[in-house]
Amino acid sequence: MSLTTYWLEHAWLGTHVEPGVVLEAGADGRIAALRTGVETPPPGAEALRGLTVPGLANAHSHAFHRALRSLVQVGSGTFWTWREFMYQVAQNLTPDTYFALARAVYAEMALAGITNVGEFHYVHHAPGGAPYADPNAMGEALIEAAAEAGIRITLLDTAYLSSGFGEAPNPHQLRFSDGTADAWAERVSALKPREHALIGAAIHSVRAVPAGQLATVARWAEERQAPLHVHLSEQTAENEACRAAHGRTPTQLLADHGVLGPRTTGVHNTHLTDGDIALLGGTTTGTCMCPTTERDLADGIGPARQLQHAGSPLSLGSDSHAVIDLLEEARAMELNERLRSRTRGHWTANALLTAATGGGHAALGLPDAGRLEAGALADFTTIALDSVRTAGPLPRLGAETAVFAATASDVRHTVVGGRHIVRDGSHTLVPDVPSALSESIAALRA
């Protein structure tokens, strides 16, 4: 078996930083062996200087939202006014323009150390709602974009059927809707996983899927043992509308229809009651926090600490891509909690890195990723310990340095399946990522 040997100057092994680690990646894209106590690079090994951690998992992405960066920072407004800008961008997407944009966005993620993305995908059809000749043309564009950018993707194909608790989709939302959950299930069943791509499911929100059709989506995911994600209680207005329509919270409504469980992840989980927290924790339903988007949209600070203590596993996402930086997401989760509670140290650096790595991969259906050990996928990233942000601390404090000082700009290498995707800060497959982003975003304004 052909092996690629890497020498890791320092490696985070989940509980501590170990100096001098040799990692052998097999032709199958998995870690064949891991050896510690190797002080210098063996002959023929690729030396990765800095701190190597498992690949970061971006558990919640809307790739086309990257085109909104800065545009939505003009003036003021709310989540609901921001949504109008989002609709305008969505209307200009085609399979070709979405492929070009997503390829650039996923390349930006690779530069930030992300090896796997959960794409919460709901722009399915042409404007007006007519299906493309291939009804999954938009999803296939995203899968191919991830392949060309060199990262893994879990395509969370999203049921989005209503503008709110039984109301018909508005004109902007027609291209999101399959009409019924059964029609959604028929379409998404034609999508096939491949080496770099898994197919999962999503319920956009309780306002976007009628209560009587929630179980159809949950059943589709259950039959395939696929991950199932849902935007949950991101806005107080959603909670109030759900109570008015159903006399219960969104979390309770999902529980009543069999949506909660260990393969399900609630995204945001911001405005929850104590009973909601107990339901999510008791069913081991996951929580994906997206702090940079939640603060950008003024959503609020979700009860991540209470959720984890109740039994809800944590993951992280960049969501609307106000920035793409999973280290910042991890840092923000802790710092937000400090601001709210006026106490420090709710999570250790190890715990925050776990949410950004193993927790995210598990939420995306890849429990065999997110750790540096034999048998795991050979997906990892190296963070510089000698930049202006990270120089100075002792290497044994590498986890603390990565979470509380480093940024995506400090990522030096990204390896996926044993293959170098980012080398010395440059993408090996997409030579000019900034130009790719500029050109693909400009095409949406044409």
Q: What single-letter DSSP state applies at residue 325?
A: -
Residue 231 annotated among the catalytic residues of the structure? no
Neighbours of 442 (CB within 10 A): 10
Residues 6 or more apart whose CB falls under 8 angstroms from that of 194 comprise 143
Catalytic residue among 231, 268, 271, 321: 268
d(CA 312, CA 266): 10
Among 78, 108, 367, 125, which Cα is nearest to 234's?
78
Long-range contacts from 346-350, C-beta under 8 angstroms, 24+ separation: 346/305, 347/305, 349/399, 349/400, 349/402, 349/403, 349/404, 350/12, 350/14, 350/15, 350/16, 350/399
Joined tokens for residue 116? 């796997």
- CA distances (Å), origin 253, targets 81, 165, 390: 27, 12, 46
Q: What single-letter DSSP state applies at residue 314?
A: E
Q: State the sign of the Cα–Cα–Cα–Cα dihedral 328, 408, 12, 117.
A: positive
d(CA 423, CA 363): 27
d(CA 355, CA 363): 10
Backbone angles phi, psi at 380, to 5 degrees: -155, 165
Residue 424 annotated among the catalytic residues of the structure? no
Among 72, 152, 155, which Cα is nearest to 120's?
155
For residues 29 and 282, the answer to whether their CB atoms sit within 8 Å is: no
Query: Mapping DSSP to helix (H, G, I), strand (E, B) and coil, where does residue 60 land?
Result: strand
Query: Mapping DSSP to helix (H, G, I), strand (E, B) and coil, where does residue 357 land?
Result: helix
H/E stretch holding 201 reads strand 197-203
Per DSSP, the residues of 367-415 read TT-SS-STTSB--EEEE-SSSTTT-SS-GGGHHHHHHHT--GGGEEEEE
Catalytic residue among 157, 178, 296, 319: 319
d(CA 303, CA 258): 23
Give the active site residues.
268, 319
